[in-house]
Chains A and B, each alone.
Chain A
Amino acid sequence: MAETVLKVENLKTHFDVTKGLFAKKQIVKAVDDVSFEVNQNETFGLVGESGCGKTTLGRTIVRIYDPVGGHIYYRGQDISSLKGDDLKAYHKKVQMIFQDPYASLNPRMTVGEIVREPMNIHNLHDPKERDDIVADLLKIVGLNPDHIRRYPSEFSGGQRQRIGIARSLSLDPEFIVCDEPISALDVSIQAQVINLLEKIQKERDLSYLFIAHDLSMVKHISQRIGVMYLGHLVEVGDSNEVYHDPLHPYSKALLSSVPIPDPRISRTKQRIVMSGEIPSPINPPPVCPFLSRCPYATARCSEAKPEPVKIGTRQVSCFLYEK
């Protein structure tokens, strides 16, 4: 059994969106009661529609957002309320790759400065050594070290994402949260970045939390996946198992919607029709989050929230599977 690196327990991240001084309190429950684990050297994929809270969850784990409840354990240490130097030390181990390679790089810094900045902040290595490390990192991600003095605007989307990856590697982290690292890229470039991430993972013994809405890519890169819906983690399990035999009604509908790049399969594939769209996450009622769109909903579902049930190695939150 591989060592658990990250353990998230009943994590809650809420945002207060109340407008006006005397208005009724309005809380967006972006992440509500989420629990999962990521093992050493593993890629844990997180999928769900936009607005389901997957990015918020990733950012809470990196502590860009502060949780309002629950715990995040990193190698046994509770990091959910770290401050100051302790938090800085945590950031040295856990880094993030952002979604939009056009917005996440400072346009007025050169590539060298961008990749070097985390080392300056953490006062890592001899200042003279840092240049060599930057050149090495650029080589690792497949960029020409001679481009060290260029600005982000001189690079294409795929190259910028490589710069973002080089920056996240500059502190030699153990864990990287990849927030939709490929969704802004072209198909042929996506495959390049995915292969690069897999190569770095093998070489540096990294663990990834891989957030994406492209289900086929998530399945390709992850060993285990979690399906999120409206702030809740509705199903967790081995990626092949979840893909071929989804248990939760939402996972079933989501996975049957994935377009298959193979016309013969595509013509015969049956899709589970899911009516409606994601309900508002503002002040949600304490019932099953999927109630309004679920074809199997019973009276029970509108009374309480289902607790996660263990089925083999899987975890699913649905009353259908309650013993």
Chain B
Amino acid sequence: MALLEVNNLRTEFVTDNGNVQAVRSVSFKVEQGEVLGIVGESGSGKSQTMFTIMGLLAANAQIKSGSITFDGKEICPLHYPSKKEYDKTMSEICGNTMAMIFQDPMTFLNPVLRIDTQLMEPLLNHNKKMSKQEAFNRALELMKQVGIPSPEKRIKQYPFEFSGGMRQRIIIAIALANNPKLIIADEPTTALDVTIQAQILELIEKLKNETGSSVIIITHDLGVVAKLCDRINIMYGGKIVETGTVDEIFYDAKHPYTVGLLSCVTNPDDDDDKELSPIPGTPPDLLNPPKGCPFVHRCDKAMKVCKEHPPETTEFSAMQKCECWLYDKRAVK
């Protein structure tokens, strides 16, 4: 059984101008020990999908439909009779068996608490029998694990005494505190320099191998995905338009958006500096998403049917699926 299974998830945000349909019927699975990459541009719904799973949505969000099964347990608030019961379940899961690494290492840590307090918090909250001394020792161990030099001295310091890369390591250590089964990393390296990014990515890879946790990485950087992931979901306009293994996506992409995205990035090992082929136009407005395919206005292969009807899923292999009318049996080849 999959560790995490999301089915037909829909999340909307109520605004003065109408409902923004941020997540539009998203379904996917994460297996044990797997690294899944979720790639998409800003506003594609990748972060909101994860916030829905973690129960971290803003106050104006409404979950319209869907089910989320984590570790055999339903964790979608729609299936709970009251908010209180949902919160009780989530407070047992979050920071314990499921943990999140946030995007911005500069704002995630509490500036007025020392590092040891912040590292011990998830340990003491989720392990009723653990003593403070045990938690402190575990915190030291975690700091060593994520590669912070002289942890005995550093653990007594405040966040402002750490650089960006070091803070991101602390955040990873906090996420790892209770040996989670699933780590969700939301753009873990976007705010960091390339040399620090490479250090952090290597650290995530190493920790994944050591602990056997599953990892979901949300990013817009295809280089990061190529390095770390087993499988990739490509999101666009609130939907998963294509999913497949890393090799299938990079070498045999089917959806025109995926193909376009891959031709937008330069491979620095390639010297001919050929002109980039950008995708024209801008992403759709999710206040009034297009009736048919979300990519229809930017797609050079768009047909009449794409405007009217949302595309059906076509399966290419055990892993690779794509939502595009081009691959429908009825399409003119």
Contact = CB atoms under 8 A, between A and B. Distances in A.
Interface of A: 49-50, 156, 158-159, 186-192, 194-195, 198, 213, 215-217, 219-220, 240, 243, 253-254, 256-267, 271, 273-274, 277
What does DSSP make chain A's interface, helix, strand, loop or mixed?
helix
A260 B223 contact: yes
B268 A215 contact: yes
A186 B190 CA distance: 12
11 contacts: A191-B263, A192-B279, A194-B278, A215-B194, A220-B268, A220-B273, A253-B195, A261-B267, A262-B226, A263-B250, A264-B247
Given A50-B193, A266-B223, 14 more contacts: A186-B41, A189-B278, A191-B265, A195-B276, A213-B193, A216-B223, A217-B266, A220-B276, A257-B197, A259-B224, A261-B250, A261-B265, A261-B267, A266-B227
Interface string B201-223: 11000000000000000001111
A234 B281 CA distance: 40
B224 A257 contact: no
B198 interface: yes
A246 B276 CA distance: 25
Q: Which 8 A-B pairs have the closest CB atoms?
A: A259-B223, A191-B278, A257-B198, A261-B222, A191-B264, A49-B193, A216-B268, A191-B276
B191 to A, nearest CB: 10
Nearest to B41: A186
Nearest to A198: B275
Contacts of A265: 269
A257 B202 CA distance: 11
A257 B196 CA distance: 8
Given A191-B264, A259-B201, A259-B224, A277 B196 contact: yes
A216 B41 contact: no
B41 A187 contact: yes
B271 A189 contact: no
Contacts of A243: 268
Contacts of A186: 41-42, 220, 283
Contacts of A190: 264, 278
Q: Chain B CB within 10 Å — which of A190, A191, A243 has the most?
A: A191
Given A188-B41, A188-B279, A195-B278, A263 B269 contact: no
B276 A194 contact: yes
Interface residues of B, number: 45
Contacts of A198: 275
Interface of B: 41-42, 163, 165-166, 193-199, 201-202, 220-227, 246-247, 250, 260-269, 271, 273, 275-280, 282-283
A130 to B, nearest CB: 28
B269 A187 contact: no
Nearest to A218: B268
Contacts of A195: 275-276, 278
Nearest to B194: A257
Contacts of A259: 194, 197-198, 201, 221, 223-224, 226-227
A195 B275 CA distance: 7
A254 B280 CA distance: 32
Nearest to B282: A156
Contacts of B271: 240
Contacts of A216: 223, 265-268
Contact of B226 (A50, A220, A256, A263): A263
Contacts of B279: 188, 191-192
A186 B269 CA distance: 22
A213 B264 contact: no
B331 to A, nearest CB: 25
Contacts of A219: 266, 268
A265 B9 CA distance: 35
Q: Chain A CB within 10 Å — which of B199, B220, B221, B266 has the most?
A: B266
B264 A187 contact: yes
A14 B260 CA distance: 44
Contact of A187 (B202, B220, B246): B220
Contact of B195 (A191, A192, A257, A262): A257
B207 to A, nearest CB: 17
Contact of A49 (B41, B195, B201, B261): B195
A189 B282 contact: yes
Contacts of A264: 247
A216 B224 CA distance: 13
